[in-house]
Structure 1
Amino acid sequence: MAKQIKKDMVEAFSISLQDQPQNQVVKDAIMKNGIQASIQNSDAVVAMNHVFSNEIQTGKVTNQKQSGRCWMFAALNTFTHKLNHLFSLKDFELSQNYINFWDKFEKANYFLENILDTADEPLDGRLVSWLLTTPQQDGGQWDMLVSLIDKYGVVPKQVMPETFHSSSSAQLNQMLDAKLRKDAVELRKLHEEGKPSAKLQQVKEGMLSQIYRMLVFALGEPPKAFDFEYRNEDNVFHRDQQITPQAFFEKYVGVDLHDYVSVINAPTEDKPYGKTYTVDRLGNVVDGTPIKYLHVDMETLKELAVKQIKDNESVWFGCDVAQESNRKEGVMDTSLFDYEPAFGFSPKMSKAERLDFKDGMLTHAMVLTGVNLVDDKPNRWKVENSWGEKVGNKGYFVMSDDWMNEYTYQVVVHKKYLSEELKKAWEQEPVVLKPWDPMGSLAWMN
């Protein structure tokens, strides 16, 4: 039988608290400065040196501002590292807004197709409720980016620059979600009335026309072709006239994205190592590249990341960035905060427990651009973020290896680094996870 809180219970708690004089000092510090500032371990900050034995030459850090496009910024940053090196460019950027436009347009279609596909499901059932909770959002996954680039290519930032709503997406997202939910009402009603599939698709096309207009007004209209003009660091001028976004990606980036594998570590009981996984109804482009993960132990995941960094190629990775990190200092370390001395307990759980009990998930994507190896083992990692230069070391963060173990869930590496055993494992048909599985979370943190 449930028991209520009683006055004598609260009085006992209060007396216990007052019996320890140091609690007053802790209370005063936290009330004035906040929890994390009051219990930060300064030794942990000092230990996270921004020097690395293996480091990739990069450039100025980008800024996603008030948007959840970290996964796009991280991926495009890995491409610009190559572009800056190959073509002697400095601080060149690809257009995040261009990818953002097509992502939102494709997500709208993906949502409406899911609404049609679940038209016979109960409205208050878990599946439809899950779909309606977030019709679309800024966040995404690596394979979703592959689908967009396969279909639409990329363009330089100058060709489709940032706008108010690409950099500050809350109002646009609210409007798009409201529009899509209203469209869902109409499509389900038409289905209940027995309208044929062709009619429903016709209505959906009209809905997409309205969404396209909304996106053009907010983000601008994507170019079909453009002139690529630049002057390199040797002061030599170049011009490539009327090149398409697809041709631009092939000519200047020249990466076969299908040679890259999404490797995860999510050690819950339902996900054995050495198998591949996908997530039901997770994606953005209908008939695009399916989400696919290869599940490995953490040591293997790190070994793969180190191999790619040693070959002078940066690594897209997904993590739970808000856990045990200091945004201003740019430090991510499991010993950063002294919870136990302050509160008498630690909120820490195992990685599996955090996933199972909704305390952890992939929330942010960044780029590994360096690693510090001691006896060929990593003890800290250099991280390129997309929060501008006013945080961390001019936008770069340092991550301890312990933090990497606990809060990193995904890296994307070239398949050439996989062992023969892992290559065979990658070819397996993936196990399909439920839409609300933790590995269905999207990188969105800003």
Structure 2
Amino acid sequence: MTSTLSRAIAHYPNRFDPGVLGELPEHLRETIQRRNKVLGPGYTLIYKEPVEFVSGHGAHLIDRDGNDYLDAYNNVPCVGHAHPHVAEAVARQMAMVNTNTRYVQEALVDYAERLLSTFPEELSKLSIACSGSEANDLAVRVARFHTGGEGIIVTRWAYHGITREVASFSPHLGAGSPLGPNVRLIDPPDPRLAVPGTTLAEHMRQQVRGAIADLERHGYRLAALITDCAYTSDGIFTDPVDYMQGVVEEVHAAGGVYIADEVQSGFARLGESMWGFSRHGVLPDIVTMGKPMGNGMPISGVVFRPEVCEEFGRNVRYFNTFGGSSIPVAAGAAVLDVLEKENVQQRVLESGNALRAGLREITKDSPYVAEVRGAGLYVGVEIVKDRETLEPDRLLTEDVINDMRDRRILINGTGKSANTLKIRPPLAFDSADVTRFLETFAEVAKNRL
């Protein structure tokens, strides 16, 4: 049991080593010691020297001593830390009333109409929950009810949440969290994994076809394929985008549905569109949303084609005490306000293009950087021991992450071997932030890459 847990925790990228606790500043050390006494199992801190923040604004976090850190990692504060418009909307609603979906709320209806207007018209029903895990749990539950199947297909190192159900198809959680017998894994859309002589589209289609056949062989009818539209836990694979139509065709031919997990890629994160699936030119049957929806308030959503959720709605009562309650809805509406008024999507597109171009220029001659990839403000830098063999270098990756943290810029790692730098800032990240990031990264690269 202990060795299994150790392997699972070790899989978590860039975690703090408690063995060096005594080397930390006194206040930080004492707080962590108090934390360890009262918090339950499974929690981890990140960075060799953890950091405590007391305030934030935009893409910046401020520590106890007043130091300004550039946040290039946290996507929960979608439109920026402590955004005044969101904070004011939440405080105003908190001072009025907080009711749930058992009562008529015009503000809830207004919000649902506004949010659904950002989707294709075929996706026209919204259910609201509190977390991305809950959203994916509900999505799969409805998919099973609609299809009569149990089989789930996900990518090989995907992460979709932490409920018992969703953890069963989240291989990224590691050895301590077993997959369900009804779950099959396929490659992420990494062109380098395609069989020589085939296209990525052919490879992905064959992967799905094989997974469906194996499920059926073991007595499982397909319920759903669920993918994170940026494949973030697989290592961040946003391009190319010409393979998804064939994948969805295979899923539909087997009687399953396609669930687009937009927890990471939605709300203009990828710059070119509001939703990641739009870049692929496909229409999902179900779409899930989470973290960025309320800029830190606990709200998530599931959007359905009506025909997929109608029978479930007729036969199963769904109620979530806080899902759809007044305060999180106020936060969600305020996020939509900011996305519109600040033209966030255009800023993401411009900042993201500049960031990736700068990273490619800095690393173009490095023997340790295999690739810079991504879209919008979701960027991955793959660190390897050798560009030819592509052998992952997790230790070097963590050195870069911690060197950046020491220079007060926050990033982390992702991917099968945690050797891809994950750069995923709040969408308030602007041109000045890009400049600061690239200047600092160039310093680190000079020493490390």
**Which category describes the TM-score, using the shorter chain as reference length?**
under 0.3
User: Who wins on radius of gyration, i.e. which is larger?
Assistant: 1
TM-score by length of 1: 0.25
TM-score by length of 2: 0.25
Structure with the bigger RCO (C-alpha within 8 Å, sep 6+) is 1
